[in-house]
């Protein structure tokens, strides 16, 4: 048995330290939290992504009484971008959260399903996807690539038959 480890690297910025383009994207994600349909959890998530053509596509979480039927903000945004701008590279995504139930000062990471979906798109586009995470405080976590959030991502390579007997 041999132990191993890995490091996840990101940068914690204060809001005022973000470059203007990142701040604009984060502001769009924060604004989208108001559009969330979250009558059950009261947990509002907004996402905004910037495409290589400069377009910004937004999404908010959409709940349903049959919980598996809802959809997270990150997937709403990336699926909308893929359907409206097929094949266009996603350069960056900002994700913001808010709730009146408790303070969400620190940034929160996307759920596992969203991480997997983001990695699918990252794998497909073969270029980094910058991710910014924000709570209601002044700290923003920035990762130069979404792969930092899912270091052991499953992708289509795992579906290939490697036994060519």
Show which residues are catalytic.
74
- Alpha-carbon distance of 12 to 15, in angstroms, equals 10
Burial class (CB in 10 A: 0-12, 13-18, 19+), 81: buried
- Alpha-carbon distance of 89 to 48, in angstroms, equals 14
- Alpha-carbon distance of 95 to 58, in angstroms, equals 10
For the record, the structure tokens of 92 come out as: 């960056």
Residues 14/108/34/63 CA torsion (nearest 10 deg): 170
What's the CA angle centered on 54, arms 92 and 106, to 5 degrees?
30
């Amino acid at each position: 048995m041999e132990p191993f480890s890995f490091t996840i690297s990101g940068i914690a910025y204060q809001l005022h330290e973000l470059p203007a383009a990142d701040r604009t994207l984060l502001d769009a994600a924060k604004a989208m939290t108001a559009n969330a349909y979250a009558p059950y959890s009261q947990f509002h998530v907004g996402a905004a992504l910037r495409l290589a053509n400069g377009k910004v596509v937004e999404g908010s979480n959409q709940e349903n009484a049959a919980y598996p039927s809802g959809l997270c903000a990150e997937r709403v945004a990336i699926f909308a971008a893929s359907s409206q701008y097929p094949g266009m590279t996603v350069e960056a995504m900002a994700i913001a959260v808010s709730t009146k139930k408790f303070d969400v000062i620190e940034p929160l990471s996307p759920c596992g399903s969203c991480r997997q979906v983001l990695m699918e798109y990252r794998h497909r586009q073969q270029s980094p996807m910058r991710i910014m995470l924000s709570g209601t405080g002044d700290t923003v976590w920035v990762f130069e690539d979404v792969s930092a959030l899912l270091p052991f991502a499953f992708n289509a390579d795992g579906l290939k038959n490697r036994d060519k007997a």
